[in-house]
């Protein structure tokens, strides 16, 4: 360790900060250091004061509360001029240049973990959006899918509002909400909307930096950056974006350091007036595995639900997919209406599953598409579509599956207990019985502890009413349907 007397004679802020930052890192740990100290830089204001400039106001407040006192103790012990550090955020500094205002305070770059001067530059490759003109390779590198544009998005009752908001964001219109958060069951168009926004936003502003990432890629890239000691490059790659789109945010739940980094990134972008678009399988405040402060930021803009598709939208999606395949020469002609209806009945899950069924039909049908009957489709696709009506689902099976899903006993669903924790699963079970069996309302009631048919009718209608409004119930029904159909 360098002796205190020698160190106290230093006046070069670069050397002082390198030594002080190294000591501070060992005291506060890698996580807080990487999040709050590493992205900061020392500057000199117009009065010659040394200022630690943080990227965001949130980081400034954290440093003031948790590290500034110790930082000044370290600084005063090293600085021969006995100067003190103040802390401000980037927005407060305005256009103040890097430290070059005095001979004792030469220019300072953003400080990362102390490293030898000859250390190689980090090998981190910033995730960037690539315009369509860069070709398919660039598109794949950016994580975007070429076919997911506004032109290929099928509008319906459940997604009309989400589509309108997506187009507004993509147009760079002033006065938009920030962040915009799309939420809803998987497989109903959230990823499609984020892709479409990215394509359109880049088309309208070719010079803008539009970054699209899945939460999984955000997580893996951040972890790799920490391992490679290139977190500063990672932060800069995101915080220099004009628009950041992050898909499937629910997957950052339970990962503390990643959530901290995401929170700081969102705060920095919002303070700089940049656009943020996110998606998850539920509303922000329902992301119980996500840290409360981050949930609060996610919910601060506009939460825009993407609801499960109704039957008319499913028909339109199936027809749209067949049209796209026809343009590629996979099929010719048009499918009969009853064939599409049958296909939809056989795939009650997400839109992705429906598109998969349409692809299977197209591959089997080819030029015979318009001639296929329902019976032929049944024969040709019986083995391919695993959710066929030949699979007989019983009331007893539904009760057991629902009870297991909600961590209840089957007897709880048949009991007289009316607590919400039991009543709602019971109504869901009744709804599933009506959807997947041929039992009448009175028969279902008898199998639920001898209840009246009006009780069953009320329960079924209640779930039908709640599904478009409550994404948790929609997810539960969808998950249970998948379990029941194998």
Residues in the chain: 486
The alpha helices in 289-448, defined as continuous H runs, are 292-298, 311-327, 337-346, 351-365, 374-381, 395-405, 410-414, 420-436, 441-447
CB atoms within 10 A of CB 161: 13
The CA radius of gyration of the chain, in Å to the nearest whole number, is 29
Over 467-486, what HEC string results? CCCCHHHHHHHHHHHHHHCC
- Please report, for residues 175, 276, 280, 324, 335, the alpha-carbon distance to residue 132 in angstroms, rounded to integers and kept in the order given: 28, 21, 26, 19, 33
Q: How far apart are CA 85 and CA 37, in angstroms?
A: 13
Rounded Cα distance between 170 and 243, Å, is 9
Q: Is 190 annotated as a binding residue?
A: yes
Helices (H), 67-112: 68-78, 90-93
Residue 329, annotated as binding a ligand: no
Tokens of 389: 């009506």
Contacts 24+ apart (CB under 8 A), 436-444: 436/393, 436/398, 436/481, 436/484, 437/393, 437/394, 437/395, 437/398, 439/395, 444/395
Q: For the stretch 229-246, what's the b/e string if a residue is b when 16 or more beta carbons lie within 10 angstroms of its beta carbon?
A: bbbbbbbbbbbebbbbbb
Task: Look at residues 346, 384, 348 and name the one whose alpha carbon lies nearest to residue 364.
Answer: 384
CB environment 312-333: b (16+ within 10 A), e (fewer): ebbbebbbebbebbeeeebbee
Helix 256-271, helix 57-66: angle, nearest 10: 130
Could you please report the per-residue DSSP string of 17-54? HHHHHHHHHHHH-HHHIIIIITT-EEEE-TTS-EEEEE
> What's the CA gap between 89 and 222, in Å, rounded?
23
- Residue in the block written with tokens 């938009």: 176
Provide the annotated binding site: 187, 189-191
The binding site for ATP comprises 187, 189-191
């Amino acid at each position: 360790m360098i002796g205190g007397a020698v160190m106290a004679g230093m006046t070069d802020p670069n050397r002082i900060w390198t030594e002080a930052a190294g000591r501070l890192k060992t005291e506060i740990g890698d996580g807080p250091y990487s999040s709050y100290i590493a992205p900061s830089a020392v500057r000199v204001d117009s009065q010659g004061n040394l200022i630690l400039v943080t990227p965001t106001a949130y980081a400034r407040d954290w440093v003031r509360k948790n590290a500034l006192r110790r930082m000044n103790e370290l600084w005063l012990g090293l600085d021969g001029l006995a100067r003190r550090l103040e802390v401000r955020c980037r927005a407060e500094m305005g256009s103040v240049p890097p430290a070059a205002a005095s001979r004792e305070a030469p220019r300072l770059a953003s400080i990362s973990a102390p490293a030898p001067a000859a250390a190689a530059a980090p090998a981190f490759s910033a995730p960037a959006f690539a315009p369509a003109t860069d070709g398919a390779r660039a598109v794949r590198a950016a994580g975007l899918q070429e076919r997911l544009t506004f032109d290929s998005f099928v509008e319906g009752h459940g997604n009309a509002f989400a589509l309108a908001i997506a187009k507004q964001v993509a147009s760079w219109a002033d006065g938009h909400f920030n962040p915009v958060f799309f939420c809803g069951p998987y497989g109903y168009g959230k990823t499609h909307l984020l892709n479409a926004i990215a394509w359109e936003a880049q088309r309208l502003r070719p010079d803008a930096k539009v970054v699209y990432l899945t939460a999984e890629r955000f997580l893996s890239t951040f972890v790799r950056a920490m391992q490679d000691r290139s977190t500063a490059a990672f932060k800069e790659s995101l915080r220099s974006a004009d628009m950041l789109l992050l898909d499937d945010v629910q997957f950052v739940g339970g990962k503390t350091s990643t959530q901290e980094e995401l929170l700081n990134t969102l705060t920095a972008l919002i303070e700089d007036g940049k656009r943020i678009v996110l998606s998850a399988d539920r509303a922000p405040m329902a992301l119980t595995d996500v840290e409360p402060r981050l949930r609060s930021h996610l919910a601060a803009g506009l939460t825009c639900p993407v609801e499960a598709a109704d039957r008319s939208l499913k028909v339109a999606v199936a027809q749209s997919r067949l049209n796209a395949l026809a343009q590629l020469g996979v099929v010719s002609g048009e499918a009969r209406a009853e064939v599409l209806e049958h296909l939809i009945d056989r795939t009650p899950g997400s839109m992705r599953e429906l598109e998969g069924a349409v692809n299977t039909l197209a591959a089997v049908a080819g030029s015979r598409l318009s001639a296929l009957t329902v019976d032929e489709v049944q024969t040709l696709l019986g083995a391919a579509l695993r959710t066929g009506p030949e699979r007989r689902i019983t009331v007893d099976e539904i009760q057991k599956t629902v009870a297991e899903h909600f961590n209840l006993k089957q007897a709880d669903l048949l009991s007289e207990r009316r607590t919400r924790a039991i009543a709602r699963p019971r109504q869901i079970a009744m709804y599933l019985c009506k959807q997947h069996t041929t039992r009448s309302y009175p028969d279902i009631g008898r199998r639920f502890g001898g209840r009246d048919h009006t009780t069953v009718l009320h329960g079924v209608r209640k779930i039908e009413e709640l599904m478009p409004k409550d994404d948790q119930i929609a997810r539960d029904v969808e998950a249970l349907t998948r379990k029941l159909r194998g």
